[in-house]
Amino acid sequence: MSMPLHQSIAIGKYLLTQKIKGRKKFPLLVELEPLFACNLKCAGCGKIQEPANLLKERMPVERAVGAVVDSGAPMVSIAGGEPLMHPQIDEITRQLLDKGKFVFLCTNAVLLPKHIHKFSPHKNFAWMVHIDGLEERHDASVSKEGVFQQAVAAIKQAQELGFRVMTNTTFFDTDTPQDVIDVLDYLNDELKVDNMQISPGFAYEKAPDQEHWLGVTQTRELFKKAFGDGRRKKWRLNHSPLFLDFLEGKVDFDCTAWAIPSFSLKGWQKPCYLMADGYAETYDELLETTDWDSYGRGKDPRCANCMAHCGYEPTAVLATMSSLKESIRAAVSV
């Protein structure tokens, strides 16, 4: 199962509009980072390594909303840092929803019980809770004991209040196929979250842990074994079937990082959320001043082991939309 039907229809209409207009590059989703500060120190994230002055900054509401609207993207994932540390994150969310955007608010959920009263359930809104494995594995990933139980309690609270809840899980070379199976079974069958997003860990240059990134061969072997025996069909994964095929190594794609651009306190990040080769003031400037043909596996050595969602899921989505067979396959999985 992928995204909700009404969202699939809206994204399908958006893609058709881009095709009619003849646009070759356009955003599907904006990774919005209205702050870099966080209340945790995750081993695989380097956002809190930013200078102290940047960690104190909070993006104004009008700048955050304006960037997403100007880009034209139908979806936005609000990340950070920890978004719930932003004093106006509820207002940013409300304004984006009022403008018809699909909003995913990413959080480690530690602060969720304190702030959830500021939000209301909406068909186009979902909490995206960071869960990097079962209790021992997750707490080690975030470098703090007890966070897994806090996240689980927050998820249950949000569900009871009528919110859609999704999860995001990153896997590293310390994870086995059984680890993947165990956490996805737990999220799918016990916590019963609406959708789950997964990603192989990418060598983010500022992350404290630089030893446990997955290579391409490791990634393919991990997911091929984890997805075996038809397991992937029962999980409510928030991905197109073709992207899951890509993770298993059944198909390969070029990177289309321009489709999931990142906008932060520094501007539009070149070329993607995971690499920083400069910044642009507008999305149009990002498109025009970035040498997109220079990035991706086989082009830039820094991309050699990347199979991340932000670069390759859009390629899978576009490939799906251009194929009647794959479109039917994706629709059946909804």
246-265 residue pLDDT tens:
999 999 999 999 999 999 99
Q: Quick one: pLDDT at residue 207?
A: 47
105, 136 contact by CB (below 8 A) = no
pLDDT at 1: 45
Say if residues 77 and 234 touch (Cβ distance below 8 Å).
no
Block means of pLDDT (10 residues each) for the chain, length 334 residues?
80 93 96 94 72 93 98 97 97 98 98 98 98 94 94 98 97 92 97 95 55 78 93 93 94 95 97 92 97 92 88 92 77 64
User: Is the CB of residue 228 less than 8 Å from the CB of residue 220?
Assistant: no
- Residue 97, classed as helix, strand or coil, is helix
What is the structure's pLDDT at 44? 66
Q: In the structure encoding, which two tokens stand for residue 224, read together?
A: 């091929």
pLDDT given for residue 333 in this prediction: 67
Q: Quick one: angle between helices 216-226 and 241-248, nearest 10?
A: 120
> Which residue stretches of the chain are H helix?
5-21, 52-55, 61-71, 89-98, 112-115, 135-141, 147-160, 177-185, 216-226, 241-248, 283-289, 309-321, 324-333
Query: What pLDDT does residue 255 have?
Result: 93
Report residue 273 as tokens.
Answer: 């959320």
Amino acid at 268: W
Residue 210, pLDDT score: 46
Q: How far apart are CA 6 and CA 125, in angstroms?
A: 12
Q: Give pLDDT, residue 249.
A: 94
pLDDT at 69: 98
Is the pTM for the entire model greater than 0.75?
A: yes
Tell me, what's the pLDDT at 257?
94
Segment 153-194, tens digit of pLDDT: 999 999 999 999 999 999 988 899 999 999 999 999 999 999
| Rounded-to-integer distance, Cα 4 and Cα 104, Å | 13
CATH number corresponding to 5-333: 3.20.20.70
Instruction: Give the separation between CA 180 and CA 186, rounded to whole angstroms.
Output: 10
> How many Cα atoms sit within 13 Å of 89 on the Cβ side?
29
Kindly write down the DSSP assignment for every residue of 74-86, as one continuous string.
SEEEE-SS-GGGS
What pLDDT score was predicted for residue 261?
A: 97
pLDDT value at position 141? 87
* Chain Cα centroid distance, residue 250: 22
